[in-house]
C-alpha cells in the first residue's frame, strides 16, 4: 500500500468518525436551530478541507512525476546529442584513435543506463560497425557512408525514445531517414 492510499484511508476514517460525531451533536441540539447550523458549517468545513487535501496531494504527485519526466528527457537528449557530435568529430577527422574508442566506451555505459531497448539494439548494431571500421584506424568514404547510415537508423530510434509514444510510424520514419541519407 503506497503512501497516497494510506493517507486517503486515514482521511476517510477521520471523516467518517467526525461525521458520526457531528451527526450525534446535531441530533442532540435538535431544539436549538442556531447550534445546528454551526454544526453543519463545521461539517462542511471538514469535508472541504478533506477534499482539498486529497486534491493537493494528488496534484503534488503529478507535479513530481512531471518534473522527473522532464529531467529524464533532458538527460537523454543531452547524451544523445553528445553521441551524435562525437560521431561527427570522428567522421570528419577521418580516423578512429584509441582515445576515441575509450570515449565511445564511456558513452556506451551512459546510454545503457537511460536508453530504451529499441535504442540499445540499434546502438549495438552501430557499435559493431564502429568496431569493424576501427580495425584499420582510418575511415574510408565507404565506411563513412556506412557509419552515417547506421547513425541515421539509430537517430530514428532515438527520436521515438525522446518524442513519441506511438510506435506505429517508426518504420515510416526509418525509411525516410534512410532515403535522406542515401541522397547525400
pLDDT for 82 equals 93
Smallest Cα–Cα separation from 153: which of 134, 133, 179, 114? 179
45 falls in which pLDDT band (50, 70, 90)? Answer: confident
Q: What is the DSSP string of 127-184?
A: HHHHHHHTTSSB--HHHHHHHHHHHHHHHHHHHHHHT-S--TTHHHHHHHHHHHHHH-
- Using CA atoms, how far apart are residues 24 and 45, in angstroms rounded to an integer? 17
Instruction: Provide mean pLDDT across the span 109-117.
Output: 86
Burial of residue 119 (number of CB atoms within 10 Å: 0-12, 13-18, 19+): buried
pLDDT for 71 equals 93
| pLDDT tens-digit map of 133-152 | 888 888 888 888 888 888 88
The total number of residues shown for the chain amounts to: 184
pLDDT for 173 equals 53
| pLDDT tens-digit map of 12-31 | 887 788 778 777 877 777 67
Yes or no: say if 61 and 4 are a contact pair by the CB < 8 Å rule.
yes
- Using CA atoms, how far apart are residues 119 and 111, in angstroms rounded to an integer? 9
The runs of H, that is alpha helices, within 29-140 are 33-93, 98-114, 117-133
Residue 104, C-alpha cell as written in the block: 565511445
Amino acid at each position: 500500500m503506497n503512501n497516497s492510499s494510506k493517507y486517503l484511508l486515514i482521511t476517510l476514517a477521520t471523516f467518517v468518525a467526525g461525521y458520526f460525531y457531528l451527526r450525534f451533536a446535531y441530533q442532540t441540539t435538535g431544539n436549538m436551530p442556531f447550534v445546528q447550523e454551526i454544526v453543519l458549517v463545521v461539517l462542511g468545513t471538514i469535508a472541504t478541507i478533506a477534499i482539498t487535501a486529497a486534491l493537493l496531494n494528488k496534484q503534488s504527485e503529478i507535479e513530481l512525476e512531471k518534473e522527473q519526466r522532464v529531467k529524464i528527457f533532458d538527460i537523454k537528449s543531452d547524451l544523445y546529442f553528445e553521441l551524435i557530435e562525437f560521431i561527427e568529430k570522428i567522421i570528419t577527422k577521418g580516423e578512429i584513435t584509441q582515445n576515441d574508442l575509450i570515449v565511445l566506451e564511456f558513452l556506451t555505459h551512459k546510454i545503457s543506463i537511460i536508453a530504451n531497448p529499441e535504442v540499445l539494439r540499434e546502438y549495438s548494431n552501430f557499435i559493431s560497425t564502429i568496431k569493424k571500421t576501427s580495425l584499420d584506424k582510418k575511415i574510408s568514404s565507404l565506411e563513412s557512408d556506412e557509419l552515417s547510415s547506421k547513425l541515421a537508423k539509430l537517430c530514428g530510434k532515438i527520436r521515438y525514445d525522446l518524442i513519441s509514444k506511438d510506435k506505429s510510424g517508426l518504420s515510416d520514419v526509418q525509411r525516410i531517414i534512410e532515403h535522406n541519407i542515401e541522397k547525400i
